[in-house]
Chain A
Amino acid sequence: MVPKEKLTEQLHRIVSDPGRILTKETDLVSYGYDASFGFYKPDVVVQVKSEEEVAAVLKIANKLRVPVTPRGQASSLSGGPLPVDGGIVLDFSQWKEKLVIDSEDMVAVVSPGVITADLDHEAEKYGLLYAPDPGSSHFSTIGGNLAENSGGPRCLKYGVTKDYVIGLRVVSPQGEIIRTGGRTVKNVTGYDLTKLIVGSEGTLGVITEATLRLIPRPLASHTVMLIFDHFVEAAKTVTRILTSRIQPAKIEMMDQASIQAVEAFKPQGLPVDAEAILLVGLDGHPAAVADDAARISDIAKKMRVRSVKVDHSEAEARELWMARKLVSPAIAAKKPTKISEDATVPRSKIPDFCQKLQDIKKEYQIDLVVFGHIGDGNLHPNIICDKRDREEMKRAEQAVEAIFKAAIELGGTLSGEHGIGTMKRAYMPWELTPQELDLMKRIKMAWDPNNILNPSKIFPVAGPKLVQSR
């Protein structure tokens, strides 16, 4: 292990502003967590602001074999930015200077610390849209979104982050500066390194700039709320809508437990005996969305919907979405700890998956609410518990495992959008064969022979499976 002083001394030679190298105890413990579980203290935090700085830091770290963990705003739900092996946290959150919109090429060129919603806000000025809309878009960085290949409600229609990246500037773990892709939508020159870096959770290279695709911003939107007595009818209605030549931007679902939690928290007049609520968001030409809204109402009526509400104004739309927005605060009001899962199944398996979830809830006696992006099979089963209650946490951990197992058995995946990080690495062998895992490991080795960049992530390590408390 390299002495801390030697490391910081070298870092000071690279970064001109000493204020961007943090070594105080209070600073170090502030970069040891994210929105998931687990806490690890780095030896030093470097707030980088240029490609040259990043390259120089990585060169030194590679030479001294010091682990480096990239970090955006640490909103990851899978432990991605945690400095598990200590070393350097490379903080990108303050590098947000560049945000250039080219409306002719319909691209945005951004530095990694730009907040996703700020980018979309800027694009709006040109009548353009940056489509990926993770729930954290107001506080997460583009760098983090790219590294996790984040999704959002709107990806039912528009796809996920990787569908909008056309070029990157990346620094390799050895400190080499490389470019991938370019400024054109079409590009088949060589292997697609862009797509390899996207979703690699900061383990293969560090993103220092991204060229992102923008699309025309839809003119109008509409929201339809559908309330169902039975969950199965809600699930069938989703399929019926999507096979009726309608492409909603998003379809969000709240299960009965979510409805009840919201009503107990801030009554919205939702029926607590209903098994599911669907919120369908439409966007496009005003005439088209109005027509789609009417057709969805008709379809739902044929599917034995209990009630249908269509918004008539922006205020009404906001009111309808309020129910969904309140789910998180409502469940947080019950108990402090929230384990937010994102295991995902093929759309056709949603009713089976939901049934399994209810069985798991009973078997492990856990407080479980299910809501999320039903349109693309990416539900969010949330276990509500209290970190301080060890016995309850034990049951919660077992339930999480059961959820993973159920999703994989139904042909789904461990993670739809939050990433593997430290949280799910132990379960990788459940989904991937040894050959598949080995191939991934060899890719990691090729990029990072000394295993200094975000080590201890993605690949299974020995030790306890779940890291749920400090």
Chain B
Amino acid sequence: MNEDPREKLDYDATFSCIQCGSCLPACPTYKTMGTETQSPRGRINLVKMAAEGKITLDELKEPIDLCLGCRACERVCPTHVAYGRILESAKVAIREHEQLSPVKKFQEDLYYNQVFPKKNVMGAGTNLLWFYQKSGLRRLAEKTRLHHLLPECISTFEEILPSVTSPVRRHRRPSRIAPKHTPRFKVGFFTGCIMDALFDRINDLGMRLLAAGGCTVAAVGGQTCCGALHNHGGRTQQARELAKQNIKAFETESFDYVVNTAGGCGAMLHEYPELFADDPSWKARAEAFAARSIDISELLARLDLPLQKEIRRRVTYQPSCHLTNVQKVVDEPKQLIRSVRGIDFRELDNPDFCCGSAGIYNVVHFDESMKILDVKMADVKAHDPEIIVTTNPGCLLQMKAGIEREGLQDHVRAIHLIELLAEACGLEDGVKK
């Protein structure tokens, strides 16, 4: 790798930006940070400048790191600038350029190579978390005020992490469910690593909902992390390996659809073909995979769900950015919410404004993320909901954090769309705390 890392920057794509400024109002970081540098137009210009050697990759790093990758800019751009591609290219270049310090490299390896891709280790990781919660170590930490030594970010998220299901229960989920009648569709179920570690109950409910709607559902073995966090972290090669593994896993059976429950993962699956630009045979397989891969709401909206229960609640919806801006799924979740009897649905004024969760952004850039969350919560509060519906685990955690931050936990809850529908279908008390 003696190549200049700057070669990795997608210089050509920057030329389709006509610098009109249409994207500025859509960008959350432009709103909260208030400088052109932290705007889509600014970032595209900086990538161009870096490619031309007018600024260094070190200088490029901060504005690129502070981008949420929500891609709201891409959706409003009149000339369809491939912002996502430009951003990923910048991440790759910066990563190649950085001589990682040994300690940092070790931590990053642990995180990206060991934890996320390996479901069993992720299991072990969450087992540890579970152990930590149940064993009283947490209380000990709190008592000894060790807790307070943790950066604010960790303690904020600790408060809202769901109590992780015990390992024994977690592994009891059937990997295949069939409907009562002749199946309408055969569905492969993508569980996702974070979703499954923290919200496996929601995945369970998702599978049962699909079955209730007349699908055969199989959570095939061999599937792994979608690779989004790797790709957003400039680790394209690892993302590629994970993508291959997933494509292979879902090729073992002929599914009508591969369904996921996390907007962020879904976007990555949707964009698998882009990972294989130089590899025609894998590209074709990735295209076939991506063509079948859909968000659970898209399929649920087409099924006849046994919606029976009335839910008399004020509900709002915080869409996942990647569901909206990359997969372009906008109406189905709202349609599903409205289909539940009794719901008083109140749309946010600015639903497309990111909640600030953005992968691991809320952990790495806690302060910036909280400023974005505050904007979101002001919008939420103006509509006085009892329930905030989300479609992605990151958003779900972030909205829970927002509720805590605003002290609304007594009368507002954040749930996944699946929980709402499961409750309405009488599958489980999904909406209850």
B135 within 8 Å of A by Cβ?
Answer: no
B15 touches A33 (CB 8 A): no
A338 interface residue (CB < 8 Å to B): yes
- Tell me which residues across on chain A come within 8 A of B37, comparing CB atoms: 22, 24, 26-27, 30
Is there an interface contact between A338 and B45, defined as CB atoms closer than 8 Å? no
Any A CB within 8 A of the CB of B18: yes
Q: Which of A74, A115, A332 contacts B36 (CB 8 A)?
A: A74
Of B55-63, B97-105, B365-373, the segment with at least 4 beta carbons within 8 Å of chain A is B55-63
How many Å lie between the Cα of A35 and that of B35 in the bound state? Answer: 17
> Which of B16, B18, B20, B45 interacts with A30 by CB under 8 Å?
B45
- B21-29, B125-133, B239-247: which one contacts chain A? B21-29
Interface segment out of the listed A135-143, A280-288, A440-448: A135-143
With contacts A31-B36, A333-B79 taken as known, whether A26 is within 8 angstroms of B59 at the C-beta atoms is yes
**Residue-by-residue, is A23-46 near B (CB-CB < 8 Å gives 1, otherwise 0)?**
011110111011100000000000
* Interfacial residues of chain A within 93-147, with CB under 8 A of chain B in the complex: 93-94, 115, 136, 138-140
Other-chain residue from A26, A73, A338 in contact with B21 (beta carbon distance below 8 A): A73
**How far is B310's CA from A38's CA once the two chains are assembled, in angstroms?**
61
A94 touching B34, Cβ below 8 Å: yes
Question: Does B42 sit within 8 A of A, measured CB to CB?
Answer: yes
**Contact at B59–A136, with CB atoms within 8 Å?**
no
- The answer on a CB contact under 8 Å between A329 and B79 is yes
Instruction: Tell me if A186 counts as interface (CB < 8 A to partner B).
Output: no
18 A-B pairs (CB sep. < 8 Å):
A25-B59, A29-B54, A30-B45, A30-B46, A33-B45, A35-B20, A35-B21, A73-B24, A74-B19, A136-B22, A139-B23, A140-B21, A329-B78, A332-B16, A332-B18, A332-B80, A338-B18, A386-B15
Q: Which residue of A lies closest to B38 (CB)?
A: A30
Contacts of B62 in A (CB 8 A): 26
Interface string of B388-407 (1 = CB under 8 A from A): 00000000000000000000
B49 within 8 A of A: yes
User: Other than the known A30-B46, A35-B19, what 5 A-B pairs have Cβ atoms closer than 8 Å?
Assistant: A26-B37, A26-B62, A27-B37, A73-B24, A336-B79
CA distance A139 to B62 in the complex (A): 25
Q: Check A35 against B18 for contact (C-beta < 8 Å).
A: yes
For the complex, give the distance between the alpha carbons of A343 and B242 in Å: 55
Q: Smallest CB–CB gap between A384 and chain B, Å?
A: 11
The verdict on A27 contacting B35 (CB below 8 Å), with A139-B24, A333-B79 known, is yes
By the criterion CB–CB under 8 Å, are B78 and A328 in contact?
Answer: yes
- Decide if A332 touches B79 in the complex (CB within 8 Å): yes
- Whether B21 contacts A25 by the Cβ 8 Å rule is no
Interface residues of B in 67-116 (CB under 8 A from A): 78-80
In the complex with contacts A75-B20, A136-B21, A336-B15, A26-B80 CB distance below 8 A = no
Q: Are B80 and A329 in contact (CB-based, < 8 A)? A: yes
Which residues of chain B are near A302, meaning CB under 8 Å?
Answer: none
In the complex, whether A47 has a CB less than 8 A from a CB of chain B is yes
Q: Which residues of A contact B (CB under 8 A)?
A: 22, 24-27, 29-31, 33-35, 47, 73-75, 93-94, 115, 136, 138-140, 328-329, 332-333, 336-338, 386-388
Q: Count the B residues whose beta carbon is within 8 Å of the partner chain — how many?
A: 28
Instruction: State whether A136 touches B20 (Cβ < 8 A).
Output: yes
Question: A336 — which chain B residues lie within 8 A by C-beta?
Answer: 15-16, 18, 79
The minimal Cβ–Cβ distance linking B314 to chain A, given in whole angstroms, is 23
Q: How distant is the Cα of A424 from the Cα of B257 in the complex, in angstroms?
A: 56
Chain B min CB distance to A233 (Å): 30
What is the bound-complex CA distance between A386 and B54, given in angstroms?
21
Q: Are B19 and A30 in contact (CB under 8 A)?
A: no
**Do A29 and B20 contact each other (CB < 8 Å), given the known contacts A138-B25, A332-B80, A333-B79?**
no
Chain B residues whose CB sits within 8 angstroms of the CB of A329 once the complex forms: 78-80
Say yes or no: A328-B46 contact (C-beta < 8 A), given A25-B59, A74-B36, A336-B15. no
**Shortest CB distance A218–B (Å):** 24
B63 — which chain A residues lie within 8 A by C-beta?
A: 26
> Is B21 within 8 A of A74, CB to CB?
yes
Chain B contacts for A33, CB-based, 8 A: 19, 45
A47 touches B46 (CB 8 A): no
Given contacts A29-B46, A74-B36, contact A115 B25 (CB under 8 A): yes
| Residues of B8-22 whose CB lies within 8 A of A | 15-16, 18-22
Q: Find chain A residues with CB under 8 A from B24 CB.
A: 73, 139
Report whether A30 and B36 are in contact in the complex, using a CB–CB cutoff of 8 Å: yes
* B400 CB, nearest partner CB in chain A, Å: 30
Give the residues from 412 to 430 in chain B that come closer than 8 angstroms, CB to CB, to chain A. Answer: none
A8 CA to B99 CA, complexed, in Å: 34
User: Would you call B79 and A138 a contact (CB within 8 A)?
Assistant: no
- Chain B residues in 8 Å Cβ range of A24: 37
Among A30, A73, A328, A338, contact of B35 (Cβ-Cβ < 8 Å): A30
Contacts of A140 in B (CB 8 A): 21
Q: Are A34 and B19 in contact (CB under 8 A)?
A: yes
A25 partner residues in chain B, CB cutoff 8 A: 55, 59
- Given contacts A35-B18, A35-B21, are A30 and B80 in contact (CB under 8 A)? no
Question: Nearest 6 A-B pairs (CB), nearest first?
Answer: A332-B79, A30-B36, A75-B21, A30-B42, A30-B37, A336-B15
Give CA–CA (A33, B44) in the complex, Å. 12
The answer on a CB contact under 8 Å between A29 and B49 is yes
- Chain B residues lying within 8 Å of A387, measured Cβ to Cβ, are 15
Tell me which residues across on chain A come within 8 A of B49, comparing CB atoms: 29
Q: What CA separation (Å) do A267 and B79 show in the bound complex?
A: 16
* Complex: A258 Cα to B89 Cα, angstroms: 33
CA A388 to CA B52, docked complex, whole Å: 13
Q: How far is the CA of A448 from the CA of B60 in the complex (A)?
A: 38
Do B15 and A138 touch (CB < 8 A)? no
Query: CB < 8 Å: which of A29, A115, A386 contacts B55?
Result: A29
How far apart sit A47 and B35, CA to CA, in the bound complex (Å)?
Answer: 9
Closest A residue to B22 using CB positions: A139
A26 touches B46 (CB 8 A): yes
In this complex, which of A22, A30, A35, A136 has the most chain B Cβ atoms within 10 angstroms of its Cβ?
A30
**A47 smallest CB distance to B (angstroms):** 7
Q: How far is the CB of B385 from chain A (nearest CB, A)?
A: 23
Contacts of B20 in A (CB 8 A): 35, 75, 136, 139
In the bound complex, how far is the Cα of B15 from the Cα of A386, in angstroms?
9
Q: Select from chain B the residue with minimum beta-carbon distance to A74.
A: B21
